[in-house]
């Protein structure tokens, strides 16, 4: 079983049984550059390998274009570029995480998908207030997992916060 198949199986598996909301406190974690990030699993619909992207003119630089996913055209965002991290070539570990926000599916290109983690609310701290505005606008919180910290993203802001005009 490939890593992608294992992750898809983990996403579809309902191992919580009798609980009302089995997606609460669960985050899909992934890597951008050398940092670990997470997004609430309730937004994730699937994980697919990188595929042909059709460029669309007059889009922000971080929107790489669109893909055709089973007959539906979905915009694709390179999360590295959204964060202002240098672009890199896609490889066999590069994935597209398809999320759905307000009935709008969007693909997020990430360097590598890690796993689904259960991060309880009491293990999540607010983002650091080092600078106002831009540096924290996509961050929902900092999830403590053992001795590691996962940067938890606010999916709505990631998609809908416009960059400030120059």
CB 119 within 8 Å of CB 13 = no
Would 166 be classed as within a structural domain?
no
Range of the domain at 93: 3-13+22-160
- The CA distances from residue 131 to 4, 19, 35, 134, 135, in Å, are 37, 39, 19, 8, 6
The CA distance from 69 to 67, in Å, is 6
Q: What is the CATH number of the domain that holds 69?
A: 2.40.50.180
Give the end-to-end CA distance of the chain in Å, rounded to a whole number: 48
Question: Does residue 165 belong to any structural domain of this protein?
Answer: no
> What pLDDT is attached to residue 159?
87
Which residue ranges in the chain fall short of pLDDT 70? Answer: 1-21, 130-135, 162-166
User: pTM to 2 decimals?
Assistant: 0.81
In a domain, 114, yes or no: yes
**How does DSSP assign 88-136, residue by residue?**
----TT-EEEEEEETTEEEEEEESEEEEEEE--GGGEEPPP-SSSSGGG
């Amino acid at each position: 079983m490939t890593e992608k198949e294992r992750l898809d199986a983990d996403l579809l598996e309902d191992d919580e049984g009798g609980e009302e909301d089995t997606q609460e406190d669960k985050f899909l974690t992934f890597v951008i550059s050398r940092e670990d990030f997470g997004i609430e699993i309730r937004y994730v619909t699937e994980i697919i390998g990188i595929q042909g992207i059709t460029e669309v003119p007059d889009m922000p630089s971080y929107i790489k274009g669109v893909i055709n996913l089973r007959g539906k055209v979905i915009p694709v965002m390179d999360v590295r570029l959204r964060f202002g991290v240098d672009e890199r070539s896609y490889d066999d570990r590069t994935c597209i995480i398809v999320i759905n926000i307000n009935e709008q599916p969007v693909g997020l290109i990430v360097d590598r998908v890690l796993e689904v983690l259960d991060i309880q609310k009491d293990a999540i701290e607010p983002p650091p207030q080092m600078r106002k505005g831009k540096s924290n606008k996509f961050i929902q919180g900092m999830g403590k997992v053992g001795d590691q910290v996962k940067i938890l993203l606010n999916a709505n802001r990631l998609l809908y916060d416009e960059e400030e005009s120059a």
